[in-house]
């Protein structure tokens, strides 16, 4: 039994390390693929260039409307307009500002309510490359019937140097990886509950 436990522990540690390396490589090299069109676009605030990239997608017609999620309540639409240098007409016609979200879970809930109100079934998600896996996990948990297209933005703080040679970048990526694991566990638990709930419902129906 002790030998089996040791082997299991070694396998778990190896899997954890391999997963982190894979995550770090993706986070520091990810590039968006050719943009597929969707009903709308959601950008999560918190990193440089995210909003400008999302506005560029909107201008290109990749989506009909854009939600900027997680905006500080004190930040006005005019301030965002001035910061981005975008055409006011685009903001007035096609951009919505979300101010309720304070974290990635909140971003997912804000996007869920917005997309449900407008009956969107396919969303382009824009956020930093290191943040994308966790964002997709939380969005998938909040909106299981919506399809997502990832459009990662490679952040300056993870692209300008080899991550394994920078203690600060290494700590940052490790922290994000741990958060991703937690988000993945929550997503798996939610899906398991939904599956078991469906099974119980079918069993009740059959028994009747």
Q: Give yes or no for a contact between 24 and 171, defined as CB atoms under 8 angstroms apart.
A: no
Give the pLDDT of residue 150.
95
Whether 104 is in a domain gets the answer yes
Give the pLDDT of residue 159.
66
Task: Name the token pair of 204.
Answer: 């009740």
- Alpha-carbon radius of gyration of the chain: 20
Q: How would you classify residue 111: left for phi > 0, otherwise alpha for psi between -120 and 50, otherwise beta?
A: alpha
| Segment holding 109, helix H or strand E | helix 104-118
Q: What CATH number is associated with residue 109? A: 3.40.50.620
Give the pLDDT of residue 34.
64
Whether 76 is in a domain gets the answer yes
Whether 167 is in a domain gets the answer no
Give the pLDDT of residue 199.
54
Angstrom CA distances, 89 to 78, 86, 148, stand at: 12, 9, 27
Domain boundaries, position 99: 31-154
Give the pLDDT of residue 206.
44
Whether 69 is in a domain gets the answer yes
Task: Report DSSP state, residue 85.
Answer: T
- In sequence order, which residues have a C-beta less than 8 Å from that of residue 189 and are 6 or more positions away? none
Q: Give yes or no for a contact between 65 and 40, defined as CB atoms under 8 angstroms apart.
A: yes
Task: Name the token pair of 25.
Answer: 């490589």
Whether 161 is in a domain gets the answer no
Give the pLDDT of residue 93.
93
Whether 88 is in a domain gets the answer yes
CA angle, residues 151, 154, 159, in degrees to nearest 5: 160
**Grouped pLDDT means (10 residues each) for the chain, 208 residues:** 81 92 89 83 90 94 96 89 88 93 96 97 95 97 96 79 84 94 94 77 46
Q: Which residues of 149-176 are buried (b: 16+ CB within 10 A; e: fewer)?
A: bbbbbbbebbeeeebeeeeebeebbeeb
CA distance 41 to 31: 17
CA angle, residues 21, 25, 26, in degrees to nearest 5: 120
Q: Give yes or no for a contact between 158 and 169, defined as CB atoms under 8 angstroms apart.
A: yes
- Identify which of 48, 39, 57, 44 has the alpha carbon closest to the alpha carbon of residue 133: 44
Whether 21 is in a domain gets the answer no
128 by Cβ neighbours in 10 Å (0-12 / 13-18 / 19+) ranks as buried
Domains held by the chain: number: 1
Whether 9 is in a domain gets the answer no
Is the overall model pTM greater than 0.95, yes or no? no
């Amino acid at each position: 039994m002790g030998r089996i436990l040791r082997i299991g522990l070694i396998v778990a540690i190896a899997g954890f390390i391999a997963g982190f390396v894979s995550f770090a490589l993706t986070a520091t090299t990810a590039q968006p693929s050719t943009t597929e069109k969707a009903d709308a676009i959601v950008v999560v605030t918190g990193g440089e260039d995210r909003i400008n990239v999302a506005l560029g997608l909107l201008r290109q017609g990749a989506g009909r409307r854009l939600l900027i999620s997680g905006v500080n309540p004190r930040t006005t639409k005019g301030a965002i307009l001035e910061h981005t240098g975008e055409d006011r007409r685009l903001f007035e016609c096609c951009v919505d500002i979300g101010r309720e979200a304070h974290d990635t879970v909140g971003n997912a809930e804000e996007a869920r309510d917005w997309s449900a109100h407008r009956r969107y079934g396919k969303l382009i998600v824009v956020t930093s490359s290191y943040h994308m896996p966790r964002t997709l996990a939380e969005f998938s948990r909040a909106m299981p019937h919506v399809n997502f297209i990832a459009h990662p933005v490679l952040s300056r703080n993870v692209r300008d140097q080899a991550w394994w040679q920078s203690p600060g970048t290494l700590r940052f990526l490790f922290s994000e990886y741990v958060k991703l694991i937690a988000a993945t566990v929550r997503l798996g638990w939610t899906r398991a509950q939904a599956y078991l709930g469906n099974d119980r419902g079918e069993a009740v129906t059959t028994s009747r």
